[in-house]
Structure 1
Amino acid sequence: MYSLLLSLILFSPTTNHEIPDCESHSDIFKDSRTIFFPNVRSEIVEDVLTIRINISNHEKFKDNRKCSKDADEQLFWHKSMDRSEIRTLQSKIMQKYMDLNADPCVDFYQYACGNWKKYFHIPPDRSAYDTFEIIRENLDVVLNDILRHNSEDDSNEAPLIETLFEYSVDCNDTTDATVKAKMFYESCMNEEQIAKRGGTPLLEIIDLLGGWPLLSQKKKPFDLFQLLARLRLLTNDVLISQWIGPDMKNANQYIVHIDQPTLGLPSRDYFLDPKNIRYIRAYKILILDTAKLLGADLSDAEADVDKMVDFETKLAAIMASSEERRNISEIYLKTDLSSMTLYFPQYDWKRYFDLVLGPSVNLRTPVAVYCVKYLLDLVQLLSNTDKITIQNYLIWRFVRQRINNLDYRFLALKQRFNYVMFGREKAPERWQFCVGQVNAHLGMALGAMFVEKHFDSSSKSDTIAMTHALMTSFKAILQESSWLDEHTKQYAKMKVESMDLKIGFPDFVLNRTELAMRYYDVTISRDCFFENVLGILRHSSRAEQKKLGCDVNRTLWSTSPAVVNAYYSRNKNQIMFPAGILQPPFYHKHFPKALNFGGIGVVIGHEITHGFDDKGRLFDQQGNLMMWWRESAIRNFYEKAQCIIDQYSQYVLPQLKVPIDGYLTQGENIADNGGLKEAFRAYETWTEANPKADECLPGLNLTSKQLFFLNFAQVWCGQQKIEEAKNRMKTSVHSPGIFRIIGVLRNSIEFAREFECEENSRMNPLNKCIIW
């Protein structure tokens, strides 16, 4: 028996990205919050790691976050600190998290993060708290400081919602984009004005959409495809998901994509598993109470809500599971609009696309479909469901997103629902919410201000150099791989060398004229937060419309510079590291290189490896879905991937009674394992070239290579509530955080060597799973 601290990776972003992903991509923090459970006991029996968790669902946590400028982590933003001060500070932080009584060869997670819970607890406005959340909060403090200095612009023109559904607009607002971002922030922070307006802004747009029958028993004409099209123009994907993005088999061409949608709960399992009845009940209460605030008569509404949720449950039942959709080539169907009308004649595709895409669409417009069976089954479901229920459901899904932009009464309903779903006891502070809203909706404008004030250009050049070092490392691993034939090796090498690097920020954000042009059709008012959001959503769909018929612009960035994440795009063979992640503990120019390679270096390696995981390997160097592997290499890959699948499938969370899905998480597990190995090799190469470099941290009696592994592990320190753990185990493509550490290090020959772990010890088993 021995003790482990359990962390899980969460996706609970501070921003609410409502624009569908236009490219297939992977990111290292898709579930981007790390957490652990206190009071964990674990044991290994026949190499099966079992975690026993003791935690109360109703445990209250004290909010003891350190958001002041004198907090240790905040000090890194003080540019005046010199090299010695930075290293002393980082050593202090790393030491206080460690449990030096733990044996690193028995439980490296406990060794690296054993004391983390002594310094941090889950705040009441979070369902999890972790290293990434600290990084995000530090960044949010900096962004808030930028935004709260009010704009001096006197304009206050209100956006016109009547023009939202027009294909083209006359607006050409050349106001500085950073001014618009600050005005948008002011409108979000103006709670008095938001409360004064109440639900009126939402009721006005509902009326434009044709009304919500739940609010009135008066029947109005219902046009399904007009409503679906209008919802898409506001970036809502209900019943079907549709977007413009690179074609998987011709990555230089933008085409229309059609797929099954998301649901009102995190996954289809919430609707289909009878054990989730409490979540369904909370969902119904959220709908009813929202409708009541908007004026519905609850005596008539309850039966309608039951019908809506029953319809959504049937919708969940006809959707394919994640496992069924994992093989991309099997679900991809390339066709065109004319053929779509033959495949699915019950859908008025031409009218829908005329409304959504305007005059540029014609019957020869190419379309990629990923949900043929779903679309066929949806026809039957729609024909067996009354129109009022369908209309009620569609409008509800729109309303669900828009209550974020209303007054405290609606936010209180959302908070009560979040408490049931995720254990979150209160909503975030208003300033945090508004910073997230600006970053989600005007991210390039906010990123421009962040980069100008805080981004050190040396971090960009350092990261580029490290990326090239990691690529060299990966190519060396390729060459050593005896299971790959020479043809596949050479093609893989070409793919690595063709990877497009996006580091820090796009150059145009520093050009005020170009930045203003990006948001030329956005009008912002200090008094109209709700309409501001709708206007920006419509701006986003207009920008998407313009891509159709054009060649793919590989210079475009798909994310704001001021975010803590990293990405790999399969369609573009592109890796992206925004400026927001280039900060401690991932990177600092004064850190020993051991920490930078163990931090951002592993992240870089993770994203590179995504080009060669179970999905990424299906795409060539240009991002085309193409089988470039030889048969022998494919068979060997499957065999090695199965080892990873089997290894991670042994890790079980007994109190949740949910084992890790090793098949579903294999892509991220492969990337984690490959990323660590590549980064360590690149660091070894660097140390050989720089034998006299000072790689020590004061007060830490560890070698530089041991520091590499320690920093790698400490980015996963954290904790979460049981409700969030349940949600993650249902929806996450990442393994729980502890196993992203334990699983990877148990496969690492280099880790065992540097910490002198005896052969067949718990952190150094004889059988290791190695692909890259």
Structure 2
Amino acid sequence: MQEISDSESVHKHDCRLGINKNTATLIPLFCLFLLMSHLDVVNSTNQKINVYQFTSQDTPNEVEEPLLTGLDPKCRGIRAGVLSEVLDVEDRDLLKDTRTSFIPSQPLIIPAECQQKDISVDANDRKTEEYQKQINKKTLNFLRKKRHELQIDFHHPPLITSTSPSSINDDGNTTEVLHELPDEPLHVLRRRRDSDGGAFDTTSETRDVLWNTENTEKESKPELDETEKISCTNCRPKVVSLNSFWKGEGTREKIRSTQAEIMKQYIDNSVDPCVDFYQYACGNWEKLNPIPKDKAAYDTFEKLRESLDTVLRDLLLEEPKTANTVTQTNSVDGITSLNIESTENPPQTQENHQPDSIDVQNALDLIARYLQNHNPESRLLKRLQNRHDIHRKRRELDLQNLDGTNEAETKARNLFISCMNYELLEKRGVEPILDLAKSLGGWPVLDPHWNESAFDWLNLTAHLRLHNNDIFIVEWVGPDIKSSDENVIQFDQTSLGLPTREYFLKDSNKAYLEAYREYMITVINILGADYANAVQASNEIVEFEIRLANITSAPEERSNVSVLYRRKTLKSLTEEIPQIDWQKYLTIVLGQEVSMNETVVMFATDYMKDLVALIEETEPRIVANYLMWRFIRHRVNNVDDSFNEAKQKFYFTLFGREESPPRWKNCVNQVNSNMGMAVGAMFVRKYFDENSKRDTMAMTNELQQTFREILNSTEWIDIATKHLAELKVNAMSLRIGYPDFILSHEDLNDKYKDLEINPDKYFENTLNVLKHLTRTEQSKLRQAVNKTAWNTAPAVVNAYYSRNKNQIMFPAGILQPPFYHRYFPKSLNYGGIGVVIGHELTHGFDDKGRLFDREGNLHRWWSEDAIKEFHNRAQCLINQYGNYTVQEVGIAVDGENTQGENIADNGGIKQAYQAYKQWLDQQTDPEVLENEILPELNMSSTQLFFLNFAQVWCGAMRPEASRNKLKTAVHSPGKFRVIGTLSNSPDFAKEFNCPAGSPMNPTNKYI
């Protein structure tokens, strides 16, 4: 619909005659309202509008289920049934909430066009003088010298290279093809040679921007290295620009064409989709995207994560906005066109927001009140209500922020600057580590005068916990799994220095254990111990950790959470394990006296008793060396590069990574991991499209309804259990994009008010961050659980389901391509974010999620018959996935460990496809149906649904990384997330006409 300005309405609408100036805007808007209302009536016959009433009936009391299968066997530290591959930077096996993640890590797509261009800091830098003064002078000098580490090159135009049938020589070799450049500026990723013209630098990508075809003849074109060529006869030229994917900068046609080209590049047409759909959908991925040397694996998510890292780096180097900037940005009055189709709405980021004038807002409010009284189901009313809420919130935040200072974001930028200030880090060397060791009582291997009589292992353990390290004793304050509204102190068994206990106990892992020992020797030696002492101490530490691993419970022994769970008073715990002064430990960690009547939950009683016995029979010097090693091994990341070579050698053995990533990537990761809300605020204001929140909410409602329909048609679940399951899905809370508080300077500053960050002291900043994280967590004690709180940063690509909170969370990062775009066909959005939504909904009813009720409490609410039927069906999936083998390493997928994610994958795609088909069947407009296909791909809309789902999982992994991942992962490899799920789908077989009995349409389907 064409937008009508106030001035245009005065001349074009006769109905305004006789109306005073204050109401001149109302008449055209009311006419608009009449038209929109008519559209509502017309469309109501073709599209259902679902309104769901979430009930809050009490769940009947149930008897606790005798045999629970609630924990994944790889759940090292039980943490109340938690399992996630998203780990803290310290020795945390698990997060502090019982939640699952859609993918093991967080990627994001950020096109070059939307990234800050002017981030290099040299003599010609275009930053303002005022901003330069805000950055430490030493840091500026460092950035000038080290700008190549940021890999920004503004001097050479990018070349687009590829191979095609016409570029293959007679001898079969591949030659490069230089494609004609488009008329508009182009932004691509290109690897570059070292500045001295030496070896080709594959540690990272170079982003070339700010050039036009007009000056290409004036620029010298760098020679391409052989590693840039693609030896693939069927691969298409990599000429796709990403600008059409961002902030509405491309037309619908361009965006759709771009996505089609991307999808077409990965397809291997030589493969029959009914034989191996993963190879069909992703066959050209690895040829087009070889694993970089600084990566252990490379897939769609890792590729997107690189873009995220780049844009976050740019934001952290960007000039902070002042109150004047905010005022100027939000001073334009205007009206954005109201469009009935949600996918047609223009992007509403925080930066391009234009608030309504008073007259316009009053008119919209009047229309909304009329609709509320006469047509409460109107689609227009829902748009107006959503618009009103957004504008009201933004106006409030704008007023709050005018006089506020953005201290939190300044702290995040200073943390990044301190991390990047290598010149200063090099001057300080390893002295900060040595000073820290002394402040903690000394490290025996480095201190010949270490006082053994003054050593207290429990005191040191507690002080390391203050630095967010769980060594010997895992302690946290969080929701009680059987009383999810209550935050209590909880204890569990220790984590270890390698991913699992098997690394220490199985002979097949000797090579990894030896690499661990060698790394330890090198670190201790660099810190000042002579080589012989370093070897002796390292041998003793490893032998001690082998014994420690032996007293931890094996994963299969921890599958029954109700057996492990012990709620008691601190007095009772002290009586049971008197060798540990629990009150003393907690007083140090909590920073306050703790009553002996305090409630605690223990998950590792036998381990604690064995720990005491192990420590008593071990020399104090060895115990102290072990504790300090576990802590200091992380601190070597916070000084100069003295330890880089040793770390790289260790990680090569463990994961196959050939090179270390550039420093700036590690710095970005640390800031986003530890100050994620501050970084998220920068990201959301500049890049997040508010329209995606509405679309995601609508799609979630659709998939919830689809879930109910599938649930009600399921014959093996009894009526009573179905009723409780429906109450649970109705009660699921949804968090989309970001928490509102991050857009308020006052609230965001308050979150980090006790965190001190100095741009010159990276090592101390890291310690301050760790202590801040501990204080924040421990402060929850005796507070009611906030079930609406966010526990993840916005700038990540992942999705989560929290069992304790019965909450689904979609951070801003995942509402991007390939999961979602407002101009994508619905087929792609349902095959992308739709599957993610269904996946997370299903987690509430998988092998772990089903143990928690709608309030997030652990207790039995399924009938005995339903439990039995569930286990039978789950075992079929366990067997199916257990038969898949990663051929490169000859290791089978662990069907038991991955069953929860496999259940969610299978349930998610079934719900998403059914919801899409229901939407598709309701469409009668030929133009809408025509838009559901991509002309560049000879596929139906339903086939595109499955193709987009599959291509999300394209990727490759080094053999060493595969071996390690298969031992610990709760997610199946991407290939089998595609093959396993689609071979169970009759819908897939129907859409691709797969013959019965073919590999992708087996006779026996397991879900």
TM-score, normalised via structure 1 length:
0.90
Verify the 8 A CA contact 1:11 1:33 in the aligned structure 2.
no
Q: Could you list the per-position Cα deviations for residues 406-440 of structure 1 after superposition, in whole angstroms to 9, with x for gaps in the alignment?
A: 11112332222111111111111222111111101
Which structure would you say has the larger RCO, counting Cα contacts within 8 Å and 6 or more residues apart? Answer: 1
Please identify, of 361-370 and 477-486, the stretch whose mean Cα deviation from structure 2 is larger: 361-370
2:421 is aligned with 1:190: yes
Against the structure 1 CA distance between its residues 73 and 128, is the aligned structure 2 distance closer, same or farther, given a 3 Å change threshold?
A: farther
Structure 1 SS opposite 2:445? helix
Structure 1 SS opposite 2:298? strand
2:611 is aligned with 1:373: no
Verify the 8 A CA contact 2:107 2:813 in the aligned structure 1.
no
Match of 2:685 in 1: 452
Deviation at 1:190, TM superposition (A): 0.7
Match of 1:763 in 2: 1000
Looking at structure 1, the residues matched to 653 and 677 of structure 2 have their Cα atoms a distance apart, in angstroms, of 34
Match of 1:26 in 2: 100
Instruction: Output the amino acid matched with 2:100.
Output: S
2:789 is aligned with 1:715: no
Deviation at 1:574, TM superposition (A): 0.8
Match of 1:641 among 863, 871, 874: 874
Verify the 8 A CA contact 2:106 2:796 in the aligned structure 1.
no
Verify the 8 A CA contact 2:107 2:304 in the aligned structure 1.
no
Match of 1:6 in 2: none
Verify the 8 A CA contact 1:254 1:551 in the aligned structure 2.
yes
Verify the 8 A CA contact 1:586 1:595 in the aligned structure 2.
yes
Deviation at 1:18, TM superposition (A): 6.0
Looking at structure 2, the residues matched to 12 and 76 of structure 1 have their Cα atoms a distance apart, in angstroms, of 29
Match of 1:306 among 539, 554, 571: 539
Match of 1:272 in 2: 505
Looking at structure 1, the residues matched to 84 and 805 of structure 2 have their Cα atoms a distance apart, in angstroms, of 24
Structure 2 SS opposite 1:255? strand
Structure 2 SS opposite 1:359? coil
Instruction: Output the amino acid matched with 2:101.
Output: D
Match of 1:137 in 2: 306
2:979 is aligned with 1:742: yes
Structure 1 SS opposite 2:479? strand
Match of 1:701 in 2: 938
Verify the 8 A CA contact 2:293 2:658 in the aligned structure 1.
yes
Instruction: Output the amino acid matched with 1:185.
Output: F
Looking at structure 2, the residues matched to 142 and 611 of structure 1 have their Cα atoms a distance apart, in angstroms, of 34
Number of aligned positions between the proteins: 717
Looking at structure 1, the residues matched to 449 and 321 of structure 2 have their Cα atoms a distance apart, in angstroms, of 47
Q: Could you list the per-position Cα deviations for residues 481-511 of structure 1 after superposition, in whole angstroms to 9, with x for gaps in the alignment?
A: 1000000000000000111111100000000
Against the structure 1 CA distance between its residues 249 and 77, is the aligned structure 2 distance closer, same or farther, given a 3 Å change threshold?
A: same
Looking at structure 1, the residues matched to 91 and 607 of structure 2 have their Cα atoms a distance apart, in angstroms, of 22
Instruction: Output the amino acid matched with 2:799.
Output: A
Match of 1:475 in 2: 708
2:961 is aligned with 1:724: yes
Verify the 8 A CA contact 1:327 1:615 in the aligned structure 2.
no
Match of 1:383 in 2: 616
Deviation at 1:711, TM superposition (A): 0.5
Deviation at 1:134, TM superposition (A): 1.1
Looking at structure 1, the residues matched to 894 and 728 of structure 2 have their Cα atoms a distance apart, in angstroms, of 29
Please identify, of 403-412 and 552-561, the stretch whose mean Cα deviation from structure 2 is larger: 403-412
Looking at structure 2, the residues matched to 347 and 695 of structure 1 have their Cα atoms a distance apart, in angstroms, of 65
Match of 1:81 among 227, 233, 250: 250
Structure 2 SS opposite 1:514? helix
Deviation at 1:152, TM superposition (A): 9.4
Verify the 8 A CA contact 1:746 1:763 in the aligned structure 2.
yes
Looking at structure 2, the residues matched to 350 and 124 of structure 1 have their Cα atoms a distance apart, in angstroms, of 49
Instruction: Output the amino acid matched with 1:357.
Output: L
Runs of 5+ unmatched residues, structure 1: 1-9, 35-59, 154-172
Verify the 8 A CA contact 1:745 1:763 in the aligned structure 2.
yes
Against the structure 1 CA distance between its residues 563 and 398, is the aligned structure 2 distance closer, same or farther, given a 3 Å change threshold?
A: same
Verify the 8 A CA contact 1:174 1:520 in the aligned structure 2.
no
Instruction: Output the amino acid matched with 1:366.
Output: T
Structure 1 SS opposite 2:757? coil
Looking at structure 1, the residues matched to 609 and 671 of structure 2 have their Cα atoms a distance apart, in angstroms, of 39
Structure 1 SS opposite 2:945? helix
2:437 is aligned with 1:206: yes
Verify the 8 A CA contact 1:337 1:364 in the aligned structure 2.
yes
Map 1:219-618 → 2, pairs under 5 A: 219-220=450-451, 221-359=454-592, 361-618=594-851
Q: Could you list the per-position Cα deviations for residues 691-732 of structure 1 after superposition, in whole angstroms to 9, with x for gaps in the alignment?
A: 432211131011111111000000111111111011011111
Looking at structure 2, the residues matched to 252 and 489 of structure 1 have their Cα atoms a distance apart, in angstroms, of 25
Looking at structure 1, the residues matched to 203 and 818 of structure 2 have their Cα atoms a distance apart, in angstroms, of 23
Looking at structure 2, the residues matched to 411 and 575 of structure 1 have their Cα atoms a distance apart, in angstroms, of 39
Against the structure 1 CA distance between its residues 67 and 328, is the aligned structure 2 distance closer, same or farther, given a 3 Å change threshold?
A: farther
Deviation at 1:261, TM superposition (A): 2.1
Please identify, of 363-372 and 757-766, the stretch whose mean Cα deviation from structure 2 is larger: 363-372
Verify the 8 A CA contact 1:11 1:29 in the aligned structure 2.
no
Deviation at 1:655, TM superposition (A): 5.3
Verify the 8 A CA contact 1:122 1:129 in the aligned structure 2.
yes
Runs of 5+ unmatched residues, structure 2: 1-82, 109-199, 210-238, 323-403
Verify the 8 A CA contact 1:109 1:713 in the aligned structure 2.
yes
Against the structure 1 CA distance between its residues 30 and 369, is the aligned structure 2 distance closer, same or farther, given a 3 Å change threshold?
A: farther
Q: Could you list the per-position Cα deviations for residues 185-224 of structure 1 after superposition, in whole angstroms to 9, with x for gaps in the alignment?
A: 1111111111111111111221111111111222321111
Q: Which structure has the bigger radius of gyration? A: 2
Match of 1:112 in 2: 281
Against the structure 1 CA distance between its residues 719 and 15, is the aligned structure 2 distance closer, same or farther, given a 3 Å change threshold?
A: farther
Q: Could you list the per-position Cα deviations for residues 335-390 of structure 1 after superposition, in whole angstroms to 9, with x for gaps in the alignment?
A: 22111111211111110001111326321222111222222222221122111111
Looking at structure 1, the residues matched to 719 and 86 of structure 2 have their Cα atoms a distance apart, in angstroms, of 43
Deviation at 1:300, TM superposition (A): 1.8
Looking at structure 2, the residues matched to 399 and 344 of structure 1 have their Cα atoms a distance apart, in angstroms, of 29
Deviation at 1:688, TM superposition (A): 2.4
Please identify, of 591-600 and 78-87, the stretch whose mean Cα deviation from structure 2 is larger: 78-87
2:900 is aligned with 1:667: yes
Verify the 8 A CA contact 1:11 1:31 in the aligned structure 2.
no
Structure 1 SS opposite 2:555? coil
Deviation at 1:656, TM superposition (A): 3.0
Deviation at 1:129, TM superposition (A): 0.7
Against the structure 1 CA distance between its residues 336 and 526, is the aligned structure 2 distance closer, same or farther, given a 3 Å change threshold?
A: same
Deviation at 1:557, TM superposition (A): 0.7
Match of 2:295 in 1: 126
Against the structure 1 CA distance between its residues 328 and 275, is the aligned structure 2 distance closer, same or farther, given a 3 Å change threshold?
A: same
Deviation at 1:151, TM superposition (A): 5.5
Q: Could you list the per-position Cα deviations for residues 492-535 of structure 1 after superposition, in whole angstroms to 9, with x for gaps in the alignment?
A: 00000111111100000000110000000011111111111111
What RMSD over aligned residues (CA atoms) do the two structures have, in Å? 2.2
Task: Tell me the percent identity.
Answer: 49
Deviation at 1:11, TM superposition (A): 9.2
Please identify, of 141-150 and 468-477, the stretch whose mean Cα deviation from structure 2 is larger: 141-150
Instruction: Output the amino acid matched with 1:536.
Output: V
Q: Could you list the per-position Cα deviations for residues 214-241 of structure 1 after superposition, in whole angstroms to 9, with x for gaps in the alignment?
A: 1122232111111111111111001121
Deviation at 1:327, TM superposition (A): 2.8
Structure 2 SS opposite 1:214? coil
Verify the 8 A CA contact 1:61 1:122 in the aligned structure 2.
no
Verify the 8 A CA contact 2:405 2:745 in the aligned structure 1.
no
Structure 1 SS opposite 2:624? helix
Instruction: Output the amino acid matched with 1:501.
Output: L
Structure 2 SS opposite 1:638? helix
Match of 2:346 in 1: none
Q: Could you list the per-position Cα deviations for residues 27-66 of structure 1 after superposition, in whole angstroms to 9, with x for gaps in the alignment?
A: 11136699xxxxxxxxxxxxxxxxxxxxxxxxx9966857
Deviation at 1:323, TM superposition (A): 2.6
Structure 2 SS opposite 1:361? coil
Match of 2:89 in 1: 16
